[in-house]
Amino acid sequence: MKEKEREKIIKCVEQETEGFEIDDIQLKETKHSYFDTIKIYEVITKSKVNLWVLTGDHTPMNLYPKKEYDTVESIYYTHIGLIANLCSQTVHDYFILKFIKDKSIFPIVDMKLKEIEKDVKIGVSSLKLLSLANMIRETLLSLSNYLCTNELRNDNNIKEGDFKNSMDLFIGNLFPGKTNKSRRSFFKNICNEVWTFNSVLVHKKDLTIYDIFNSINSVKLLTSISNNYLTSLEMPFNKGKCPICESEDYIMLKPSNSNYNYKCKNCGEKYSIKI
């Protein structure tokens, strides 16, 4: 780690927290997101809670307390969601909605679906429809390969192309813990349904263009859900509000027992949120 980066991290911890003593700063992973290269650092402290510091080449540095179920993946997606949110606030209130609607964070998937859609015409041969169904299935695999990285798959002995297990792993990392149970199950059920539906189509002899349209729409649905979850993750730490003045501008104080403690920068009120 460069000395300058180290100094910036220490400064960030000093500005955003109070009473923490840094033991060590470790670079956990460097990720290449759609819009920036993000470095994920874990700041080991002498207190009960360690901290994550994430920083990009073109996006701001931010700090998060490390929670029990946190993984490098989950904090990465939280950070990406937050940065996307921040960008949306500075550019345009509805920027993120338009961004999700028009661009999506999966340009490869969008490109492939558009190519497939061009070929869906009344009167195309059943052989052509079958090849389109296969292409749609391939697109689903691209999505799962994008979401569940090689590293994540290798660590868990999951083969490339194993859609269900890849998505299960990705979703489990994205939504860890008890409170995320319903999100996990909703997301997994949709994944399974979409995969099963499309796996049946590639063997179907009486395939129609309507099957292909539904197939395309099912991939769009899954893409849209993944999009939304990745860019609008629950961020309890960042969404904490002062109970007195509702300001979201605060510094984090040393945690006590089972609480995160905060001090409002606006009115000075001290308040806690359960760990």
Under the binding rule (CB under 5 A), the answer on residue 27 touching Zn ion is: no
Nearer to Zn ion, 110 or 269 (CB): 269
Give, as ranges, the residues between 239 and 268 that touch Zn ion (CB under 5 A): 242, 244-245, 247, 264, 266-267
Using DSSP, state whether 81 is helix, strand or coil.
Answer: helix
Q: Are 61 and 53 in contact (CB under 8 A)?
A: yes
Q: Considering the complex, what minimum distance in angstroms separates the CB of residue 255 from Zn ion?
A: 19
Using DSSP, state whether 161 is helix, strand or coil.
Answer: coil
Q: How many residues bind Zn ion (CB under 5 A)?
A: 8
Distance CA 34, CA 42 (A): 22
x/- mask, Zn ion, residues 86-115, rule CB under 5 A, reads ------------------------------
Q: How far is CA 143 from CA 60, 74, 224, in A?
A: 27, 18, 11
For residue 238, the tally of other CB atoms under 10 A from its CB is 16
Distance CA 176, CA 184 (A): 8
Nearer to Zn ion, 15 or 179 (CB): 15
Nearer to Zn ion, 176 or 240 (CB): 240
Q: Considering the complex, what minimum distance in angstroms separates the CB of residue 267 from Zn ion?
A: 3
Nearer to Zn ion, 36 or 269 (CB): 269
Q: Are 81 and 226 in contact (CB under 8 A)?
A: no
- Give the residues lining the site for Zn ion (CB under 5 A): 242, 244-245, 247, 264, 266-267, 269
